[in-house]
């Protein structure tokens, strides 16, 4: 197709919840997926697994929904996906698809990038704002939503904070991990979560790892979800013994996140979990990552 319009959209992986901020807090990480949308005579999807190449591809369906909401006629696209994000879950791979589709629709079929509109549609499509908000805005983001409008506050993460993302070679589906949540919680638990969530945000902003270690103690979802990750306990023990300030289930798992004081500390933790002898895990995916101050970026 000559003169075909094209958008290349780059979206960071995200770690949602940050322990105590269930469905509210999320961090953008410096690991990015790239989605190339190019006008075409028919729908073509490549670069991803065969099972994601159909009309139900999440980036494509998100593109269509964003067009529908803008009252614009979608055009067929050739979509190429290049994603290093593991499919075992917990690093916001689905949010990269949703955000890419929505932003590409705004760029190619709408009036240009509109971050607030993208945040509202992406939250609706994903069902919670804690991945899509940092995927759009970068940094550490705290959000709340009334189901129509999402309000998101962005904070910088201190330079000294490094992360180790640890993905075991098995999947935990977000939908399944949401089913194990308690239906109701006590006032005591609510008080615990609010106080610890505010302190976690402050600790990550200031780089205070002692405060982080005390603050990152979730009682709302991790105790129930840890059971879905057979290697959670040995990995947690090993990471903390190697010096991690906090150890979290990233999103709904199965990926876990160790939060460390500096890159050197993070590398020590990465080596320790990679070299576990007693509970060695074949096929463990381990990366030392920083926070990405940038959210979605694009070229048209």
Ligand X SMILES: N[C@@H](CCOP(=O)(O)O)C(=O)O
Ligand Y SMILES: Nc1ncnc2c1ncn2[C@@H]1O[C@H](COP(=O)(O)OP(=O)(O)O)[C@@H](O)[C@H]1O
Binding-site members for ATP are 86-96
Q: Does 94 bind ligand X (CB under 6 A)?
A: yes
Residue 193 touches ligand X, criterion: CB under 6 A: no
At residue 137, what are phi and psi to the nearest 5 degrees?
Answer: -100, -20
- The span from the CA of 267 to the CA of 264, in Å, is 5
* 240-259: contacts with ligand X (CB under 6 A): 251-252
Helix (H) or strand (E) holding 161: strand 161-167
SS (H, E, C) 177-199: HHHCCCCCCCHHHHHHHHHHHHH
What DSSP assignment string belongs to 59-121? HHHHHHHHHHHTT-----EEEEEE--S-TTSSS-HHHHHHHHHHHHHHHHHSSS--HHHHHHH
Candidates 109-117, 142-150, 174-182, 211-219; binding stretch for ligand X (CB under 6 A):
174-182
CB atoms within 10 A of CB 194: 11
When the beta carbons of 172 and 203 are compared against ligand Y, the nearer one is: 172
3-class DSSP assignment, residue 152: strand
Instruction: Please select the residue that binds ligand X; options are 174, 193, 200, 238, rule is CB under 6 A.
Output: 174
Binding residues vs ligand Y (CB under 6 A): 48, 52, 57-58, 81, 83, 87, 89-95, 97, 173-174, 251
β-pairing verdict for 44-46 and 77-82? parallel
Indicate which single residue of 128, 196, 236, 287 sits in contact with ligand X (rule: CB under 6 A).
Answer: 128
Task: Draw the binding track, 3-22, toward ligand X (x: CB under 6 A; -: no contact).
Answer: -------------xx----x
Q: Is 64 exposed, middle or buried (0-12, 13-18, 19+ CB in 10 A)?
A: middle
Does 92 bind ligand X (CB under 6 A)? Our answer is yes
Per partner kind, with CB cut-offs from 5 to 8 A, the member of ligand X, ligand Y, none near residue 150 is none
Nearer to ligand Y, 57 or 109 (CB): 57
Number of residues this chain uses to bind ligand X (CB under 6 A): 17
**Which residues contribute to the site for ligand X (CB under 6 A)?**
16-17, 22-23, 89-92, 94, 128, 130-131, 174, 177-178, 251-252
């Amino acid at each position: 197709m000559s003169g075909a319009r094209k958008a290349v959209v780059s979206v960071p992986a995200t770690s949602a919840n940050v322990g105590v901020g269930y469905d509210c807090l999320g961090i953008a990480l410096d690991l990015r997926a790239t989605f190339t949308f190019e006008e075409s005579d028919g729908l073509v999807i490549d670069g991803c697994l065969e099972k994601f190449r159909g009309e139900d591809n999440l980036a494509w369906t998100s593109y269509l929904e964003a067009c529908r909401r803008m009252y614009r006629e979608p055009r067929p696209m050739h979509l190429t996906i290049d994603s290093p994000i593991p499919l075992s879950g917990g690093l916001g791979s689905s949010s990269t698809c949703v955000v890419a589709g929505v932003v590409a629709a705004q760029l190619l079929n709408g009036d240009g990038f509109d971050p607030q509109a993208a945040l509202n549609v992406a939250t609706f499509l994903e069902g919670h704002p804690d991945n899509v908000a940092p995927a759009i805005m970068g940094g550490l983001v705290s959000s709340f939503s009334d189901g129509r409008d999402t309000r998101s506050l962005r904070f910088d993460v201190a330079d000294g904070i490094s992360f180790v993302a640890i993905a075991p070679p098995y999947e935990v589906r977000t939908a399944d991990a949401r089913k194990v949540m308690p239906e109701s919680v006590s006032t005591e638990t609510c008080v615990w979560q609010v106080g610890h969530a505010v302190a976690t945000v402050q600790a990550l902003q200031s780089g205070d790892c002692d405060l982080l270690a005390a603050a990152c103690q979730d009682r709302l979802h991790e105790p129930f979800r840890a059971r879905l990750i057979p290697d959670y306990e040995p990995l947690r023990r090993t990471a903390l013994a190697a010096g991690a300030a906090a150890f979290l289930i990233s999103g709904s798992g199965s990926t876990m996140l160790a939060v460390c004081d500096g890159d050197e500390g993070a590398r020590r933790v990465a080596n320790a979990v990679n070299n576990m002898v007693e509970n060695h895990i074949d096929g463990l995916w381990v990366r030392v990552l920083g926070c990405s101050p940038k959210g979605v970026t694009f070229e048209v």
